[in-house]
Each structure stands twice: as structure tokens, then as C-alpha cells.
Structure 1
Amino acid sequence: MAPLVHVVYFELHEPTPENTRKLTEACHKYLKDHPGVVYFAAGGLVDELARPVNQRDFQVALCVAFATKADHDVYQTAPSHLQFIEEHKPTWKRVRVFDSWGA
């Protein structure tokens, strides 16, 4: 069975390096150690990559691959995921979520 890949792009109201660092650290604190996670990454936009094809309208990207859709579904209602949202949602100008099957 293919993993479910959950990718989130966060655009911040105040896109400072400090706010980018804080949100990245919060992703690592609250989102990385859930059951069924087979891959986790969170970090800021790579400033050096500014080709015409690069999307640059975000500050933090999150990528979590889950072994199964059921693992993803449990994550969505996990207390630490909900706490992450509650604490950091006020800082988000826009959030885009892309879910796909991995190969």
C-alpha cells in the first residue's frame, strides 16, 4: 500500500526569520512523532531557489508521510496536532494543504 503524503505550505502574516523559525520549531515539537509517520520534514523556504517555476508565496513547508490513510486520519484529531493549530493559527495568513499517494 502506498503511503499518504501530507504537505502543508504556511504563509505568515508577519514573514520574519524569527516567525519562520518559531513555526518550524513548533512543527517539529507537535507534529513529527505521531504513530504511522514514515517521513517528516519541516523548514523554511530556500531563498537561493528563485527560478520562474519555484513557488515563493510561503515561509514554512511541512511534509509528513503516513504509512496508511488511517494513520493520517488519527493524526488529524490527535491532541498535539490540535494544540499546534490552536497555538499557531493566528500567525497564518494562508495555509494550503496537498494530500497525495506516495509511490
Structure 2
Amino acid sequence: MARLAHHVFFLLKDRRPEAIEALAASCEKYLNGHDGVVDFSVGTRDHELDRPVNLDFDVSLHLVFRDRAAHDAYQTIEQHLSFIAENKESWQQITVCDSNLR
């Protein structure tokens, strides 16, 4: 079984540090510690690394799932859906990248 990486990059409407920290804290509250997650991290953009590729997000979420089934189950759990409902109005754009790990 291949592990599955799920990376989400959030660009916020309100890009003030307080709003960025609030979304990162919400990721930790709702999205960490679920069955099948073998690695979890959330971070904020490093403003000293100002290359053009780093300007299109404020918060990054990184999850590695045991397998595809764990990822699929996570998509429908109450905490994930609550996170989306609570935060989606703050997002200007999100980019999701899923990949099978070797």
C-alpha cells in the first residue's frame, strides 16, 4: 500500500498575521490526530524566502495518510467538514496537491 500525501496551500483574503495564525490554529484543532494520519504539519509562509513561487499562499497544511482509504475516510469526517465550514469564507484561494509516495 502506498502512503498518500495531501498538501493544501491557503491564500487568505485577510493576510494580516492574526488571520494567518487563526487559520493555522484551526488546522491544528480540527485536522490533527485522525486515524490513518502518519504525519501532520501546518506552517506559515517564510517571508524571507520571497521568490515568486512563495507569494501565493499564507498557510500550508501537510498530511501523510497510511493509504488511500484513510485519505478518503478523512474527507468525510465531521472535524474536516467543520473545519471547511468554519474557515472557507476566509480563503481567497486554495491549492490542493495529492500524491502517492514512494
TM-score between both structures, scaled by the size of structure 2: 0.95
CA distance in 1, matches of 2:26, 2:73: 19
Aligned partners of 2:10 and 2:57 also within 8 Å: yes
TM alignment of 1:38-53, pairs within 5 A: 38-51=38-51
Aligned partner of 1:16: which letter?
A: R
CA distance in 1, matches of 2:26, 2:51: 29
CA distance in 1, matches of 2:13, 2:94: 11
**1:9 aligned residue:** 9
1:47 aligned counterpart, secondary structure? coil
1:43: Cα distance to partner? Answer: 1.2
**1:36 aligned residue:** 36
1:40: Cα distance to partner? Answer: 0.5
TM alignment of 1:73-92, pairs within 5 A: 73-92=72-91
How many residue pairs match? The answer is 102
Extract unaligned runs of 5+ from structure 1.
none
Aligned partner of 1:96: which letter?
A: T
Aligned partner of 1:17: which letter?
A: P
Aligned partner of 2:76: which letter?
A: T
**1:55 aligned residue:** 54
1:99 aligned counterpart, secondary structure? strand
TM-score between both structures, scaled by the size of structure 1: 0.94
CA distance in 2, matches of 1:55, 1:20: 15
1:2: Cα distance to partner? Answer: 2.2
Confirm or deny that 1:67 pairs with 2:79.
no
Aligned-CA RMSD value: 1.0
Confirm or deny that 1:100 pairs with 2:99.
yes
1:24: Cα distance to partner? Answer: 0.2
1:33: Cα distance to partner? Answer: 1.0
